[in-house]
Amino acid sequence: MALPYLFEFWAMGHQLPPVLANGGDWKTWVVMGGRGAGKTRAGAEWVRCMVEGAKPLDVGKAARVALVGETLEQVREVMVHGESGIIACSPPDRKPVWHETRRRLTWPNGAMAQAFSAHDPERLRGPQFDAAWVDELAKWKNAQETWDMLQFGLRLGDHPQQVVTTTPRNVPVLRKLLEVESTVQTHATTQDNRANLAESFLAEVERRYE
């Protein structure tokens, strides 16, 4: 019963964070890949890893998480309720509850995640976090402003961390992030996740875009 939720057993290499070459702790993990490469699952499982404890009511490494997407709808429909989102990945005894009016997830152990949109970076002014999941950073119109606001709020705990799941684009905010010494990265193509994708989808994508 537990095996489907043990992500370390099923994960592909790009879905697990690497270790810095010098042995130090990373601040930001960037997961870059094509459509269907498993980026969302990697982000959702990392959030689980941070907030869950050994038992359902035990505290984890993080208790206050920011979920930041291009729009609030994308946060809700992809990061929270999506096929590879946080709720779908969570075991029954650790499954969080989504509160629509408050735009937040709450776990049985008291951990909480708040949803934010890149269209409204000012909403990140004030709240503080010990972890964050950022989705599709390279697509955001207010990317640098929203990213900067998030960094000011990522200040709780001994070592706050964040994961960025995005398709690769040559944009300034992503280039700067990849140059930072405390950033680690993993890469994947759509084909790397072919075991979890429909053959008809793969065939069409390869025919049109390979």
The pLDDT, as a whole number, for residue 49 is 95
Predicted TM-score (pTM) of this structure: 0.88
The pLDDT, as a whole number, for residue 36 is 75
Domains recognised in the chain with CATH numbers? 24-209 (3.40.50.300)
* % of the chain surpassing 90 pLDDT: 75
The pLDDT, as a whole number, for residue 21 is 58
Show the DSSP H helices in 54-184 as ranges. 72-74, 86-89, 143-153, 172-179
Beta-strand pair 131-135/64-69: parallel
| pLDDT band per the 50, 70, 90 thresholds, residue 198 | low
| pLDDT band per the 50, 70, 90 thresholds, residue 19 | confident
The pLDDT, as a whole number, for residue 210 is 63
Q: Are 1 and 24 in contact (CB under 8 A)?
A: no
- The string of pLDDT tens digits covering residues 58-74 is 999 999 999 999 999 99
Q: Are 79 and 135 in contact (CB under 8 A)?
A: yes
| pLDDT band per the 50, 70, 90 thresholds, residue 50 | very high
Q: Does residue 115 have a pLDDT over 60?
A: yes
Rounded CA gap, 192 and 39, in Å? 11
The total of other beta-carbon atoms located within 10 Å of residue 70's CB is 20
Task: Name the average pLDDT for the chain.
Answer: 90
- The string of pLDDT tens digits covering residues 134-184 is 999 999 989 999 999 999 999 999 999 999 999 999 999 999 999 999 999
